[in-house]
Chain A
């Protein structure tokens, strides 16, 4: 009982919870990517997957790679790429909505309309 309490109290200094929650974010993002029926919902799931990758980089850099700043730099680059991806994807969503009148992924079956 004492050791379990100690483990709980030092949980934020262990690598395991960070890696587990990164795996959870990846799994939830994949589930949403499969199940969502609109483009915006799939975009949100993609953001969750980006967040999982960022957290994984940070945790591994903190606990297993004693380089001072590489994880931070990589996560900043991931944020930049995610921002660019969001801008492009949302402009595509708006263009698709203008052409098709819908953003349901099932109805986007024609290459040209």
Chain B
């Protein structure tokens, strides 16, 4: 008789519906991303639109977690929800908070909406079809953990030049933002 049959916990009863838990969380993040994107584009006031962007970034962080990179999920939350959305809200408070009412020329407005919907729907249809049923190469799934150690080594060896360049880009962006927002070009009078 083998030891396994003698084990007192031979029949482990799983938690009910435990196999549905991970797909449910995935679908929740998926629908959060979709709903946030729709709110970000469709809302009338800009503040609601920023909130939709934050919701999209929350869902994206969850999707990054499912893609084996919890560090990137954390960065998405910190940078987008914590920095970008708050900065946009600051700018909205300094400028005007309300999306202007649609113009009175109704026919052109309607025509523009239909044109934009056709363009974006055709792009979505073609790209989604390419992604869903396209002839993608079947390779070994990348099981890299996406750990901070891997990122650090890659940033300091292979991609060190790009790392330095992006720090320079951020420095120039900060200086340019200060220079434009404080006085404006040729606005010294």
Tell me whether chain B's interface is mostly helix, strand or loop, or mixed: helix
By a CB distance below 8 angstroms, the chain B residues around A17 are 30
Q: When A and B form their complex, what is the total count of cross-chain residue pairs whose Cβ atoms lie within 8 Å?
A: 249
CB–CB B120/A15 < 8 A: no
A26 to B159 alpha-carbon distance, docked (Å):
27
CB–CB B100/A104 < 8 A: yes
Once A58-B64, A90-B177 are accepted as A-B contacts, the answer to whether A34 and B115 lie under 8 Å apart by CB is yes
Once A55-B63, A62-B142 are accepted as A-B contacts, the answer to whether A77 and B119 lie under 8 Å apart by CB is no
Tell me whether chain A's interface is mostly helix, strand or loop, or mixed: helix
Pick from A26, A32, A37, A81: contact of B169, CB below 8 A: A81
Q: Which of A24-74 contact B (CB under 8 A)?
A: 24-32, 34-38, 40-41, 43-45, 47-48, 51, 54-55, 58-59, 61-73
Once A67-B142, A103-B95 are accepted as A-B contacts, the answer to whether A83 and B72 lie under 8 Å apart by CB is no
Say how far B131's CB is from chain A's closest CB, in angstroms. Answer: 3
By a CB distance below 8 angstroms, the chain A residues around B19 are 9
CB–CB B37/A35 < 8 A: no
